[in-house]
Chain A
Amino acid sequence: MEKTKRLFTGKTFLIHFILILGSVAMVVPFLWMILTSLKTYGESIHVPPVLIPKDLQWGNYKEVFDLLPFFKFMLNTFIVTVARTVGQLFLCSLAAYAFARIEFPGRNFLFLLALSVLMVPGQVFLLPQYMIMVKLGWLNTLQAVIVPGLFSAFGTFLLRQFFMGLPKELEEAARLDGCNHFQIYWRIMLPLAQPGLIALGIFTALWSWNELMWPMIVNSSPDKMTLSVGLASLQGQYLTNYPILMAGSFLAILPMLILFIILQKQFIEGIALTGGK
């Protein structure tokens, strides 16, 4: 009896030991980012490293805004993220409802056509998408980043799965009451698909906030840059001033970090849902 108990605590200890080791590896880069962002340049390159800065250099954060149109970057990223997320949620759920709940000629063919997009790596779309933007005269505009991101085969697929799982009775009752499909979708199905919508919303928001290549290709003027692209440009110009680089990096991840802390459960459930099919 005694022995099994000790063995058990030994096992628990080992589990915590491994998990803590991993956690340290996860957290140290973030801590180092924050600590460095509050150091003077001299402190940042001191050997041995200064762990805690003597005076917290909040001025580094101000300097990020002075050196770069950082507020503009944030605003752009915010606009792009909100527009893409809201747009995708609406358009994908609309199509997903029709694919899941209405029978119409060509349904399977059109759905398979949409799904085929999922099999193709993103780079295959990039060149023609870029040429479309050139033709529309949309280079260096926010809509160049937003518009292609409004349509998603993945989102349509995910939400269709959700709508398919909802009971048929609700819809039939509504139809007897004379509701058309849009009304059923909007009033009955959309509220019921909330977990799916939240999952897709978080996924899209994360993706839009963090994306690098496409915004970098279409927007090269600082005025229209998103944070990722701004950071990329920051790196080139201020290669060695790490306190400034770290302050900029931390500012860029802060909004998502706050959102994550508030909506932690939804984030993790959302990822589990989008990943675990």
Chain B
Amino acid sequence: MKELPLNGDVKGKRKKSVSSLAKTKKRSDYFWAYVMIAPTMLGLFIFYLWPILQTFYYSFTEWGAFGQHVWIGLENYKRMLTDANLFQSIKNTAIYIIFTVPIGIFLSILVAVLLNQKIKGKTVYRTLYFLPVITMPAAIAMVWRWLYNADYGLLNYLLSLFGIKGPHWVSDPKIALYSIIVVAIWSGVGYNMVIFLSGLQGIPRVYYEAAEIDGAGPFTVFFKITLPLLSPVIFFVTIMSLIGAFQVFDLIFMMIGKGSTALEHTQSIVYLFYQHAFVLNDKGYAAAIAVVLLIVILIITAIQMALQKKWVHYD
């Protein structure tokens, strides 16, 4: 700070004597800037930005067997309006979101708050809760299928100890989606917990000390201090979880077999997209699904952004 005037002084002297030098310096600045951003910008353009436009274009086309496609206008979108499968997949995805996002966030806040207390063994707990986060969804799905196995699975065995006959967790159309939801929550708690924990650690101690002096109980402290001060993090995690939940695919693909009776009642929007795009070679329709997904996610995010003023506290 003290050096500031001196610095300015030096700069001032330089400006007068070497203005043409400054110009070449600027030009060299531009040169390096463009060289340095070129690979990423080019890559983003080819593989991400241009494809957005292409997907929009594809959504107005119909595809033949060899990749040729013809313009059919709004036909794909019209077809969506009468596609029972699509409506079912939207319903499935909605149920998945309604359960995984709030319960997942609730549980991860709970764990984060508990881990933020003065207790022993914090790092051990944190490690254990984090394990599913680093585990590949394909393997997670595999082991849960096994746990859920109706005849030999651990879960139904444990239930049988209480005299309960466990259901067919992943093949009963009424239950399968909820079985997947449990796994999704299980595998996501650790991730959000870490984010909440770092948010909690950012809350200044003085607030808690003041509350203690005032004799506030733990619940008052939680609802009056922790929750409001954590709200920006909750907001961020909610948006990210929602966007993630909208795109659920891996778990469903891996846990529900291709010919399963439960497929219809578990397949998500993205699962349907995958089916049409890469199994049925119905790429135009798949593109239309992707476009609708994009628009829905943008709308939901915009609503979230608008609502945040009502409940998110920024200092």
Binding site for B on A (CB under 8 A): 12, 15-16, 18-19, 22-23, 25-30, 32-33, 36, 44-49, 91-92, 94-95, 97-99, 102-105, 107, 110, 113-114, 116-117, 119-132, 134, 147-148, 150-153, 156, 180-182, 185, 206, 209-210, 212-213, 217, 227-229, 231-232, 235-236, 239, 242, 245-246, 248-250, 252-253, 256-257, 260, 264, 267-268, 271-272, 275-277
Q: Does B274 contact A (CB under 8 A)?
A: yes
Question: CA–CA, A264 to B124, complex, Å?
Answer: 11
- B181-201 contact mask (Cβ, 8 Å, vs A): 1 or 0: 000001001111011011100
Given the known interface contacts A29-B144, A32-B143, the answer about A107 and B40 at a Cβ–Cβ threshold of 8 Å is: no
Give the contacts of B260-275 with A (CB-CB under 8 A): 270, 273-274
Q: What residues of chain B have their CB less than 8 Å away from a CB belonging to chain A?
A: 28-30, 32-37, 39-41, 43-44, 46-52, 54-55, 58, 67, 107, 110-111, 114-115, 117, 119, 121, 123, 125-140, 142-147, 149, 151-152, 154, 157, 186, 189-192, 194-195, 197-199, 233, 236-237, 240, 243, 246-247, 249-250, 253-254, 257-258, 270, 273-274, 277-278, 283, 286-287, 289-291, 293-294, 297-298, 301
Q: What chain B residues lie within 8 Å of A260 (beta carbons)?
A: 130-131, 134
Interface CB pairs A-B, < 8 A, 18? A18-B114, A26-B132, A30-B143, A122-B247, A126-B290, A180-B28, A181-B28, A181-B29, A181-B36, A182-B32, A212-B249, A213-B253, A232-B253, A235-B145, A256-B135, A260-B134, A275-B240, A276-B199
List chain A residues, Cβ under 8 A from B250. 212-213
Cross-chain contact A124 with B114 (CB below 8 angstroms): no
User: In the bound complex, do residue A114 and residue B41 qualify as a contact, i.e. CB atoms below 8 Å apart?
Assistant: yes
In angstroms, Cα B36 to Cα A98, docked, is 6
Bound-state Cα–Cα, A22 to B115, Å = 12
Closest to A48 in B: B157
Q: B312 → chain A, closest Cβ, in Å?
A: 13
- Which residue in A116, A151, A217 is a CB contact (below 8 Å) of B47? A151
Please determine whether B138 and A212 come into contact, CB atoms closer than 8 angstroms.
yes
Q: Which residue of B lies closest to A29 (CB)?
A: B143
* Minimum C-beta distance from A244 to chain B (A): 11
Select which of A23, A45, A126, A236 is within 8 A of B151 by beta carbon: A45
Does B135 lie within 8 Å of A253, measured CB to CB?
yes
Apart from A129-B51, A131-B67, A271-B130, list 8 A-B contacts with CB within 8 A.
A19-B119, A104-B30, A113-B44, A124-B52, A209-B136, A246-B146, A257-B131, A264-B127
User: Would you list the 8 A-B pairs with minimal beta carbon distance, nearest first?
Assistant: A151-B43, A128-B51, A181-B32, A275-B195, A95-B40, A272-B198, A210-B136, A98-B36
Contact A92 B134 (CB under 8 A): no
Whether A271 contacts B195 by the Cβ 8 Å rule is: yes
| A32 B147 Cβ-Cβ under 8 A | yes
Q: Contact at A275–B191, with CB atoms within 8 Å?
A: yes
Bound: A103/B28 CA distance, A = 11
Contact B111–A22 (Cβ < 8 Å): yes
CB-CB < 8 A to B233: which residues of A? Answer: 276
Docked pose: A153 CA to B240 CA in angstroms: 16
With the chains together, A182 CA to B253 CA distance in Å?
45
Contacting residue for B49 out of A16, A116, A123, A276, CB 8 A:
A116
Contact of A232 among B114, B133, B157, B254 (CB under 8 A): B254
Return the chain A residue nearest B129 by Cβ.
A26
Nearest CB of B to A265, in Å:
9
Give, as a whole number of angstroms, the nearest-CB distance from A166 to chain B.
Answer: 16
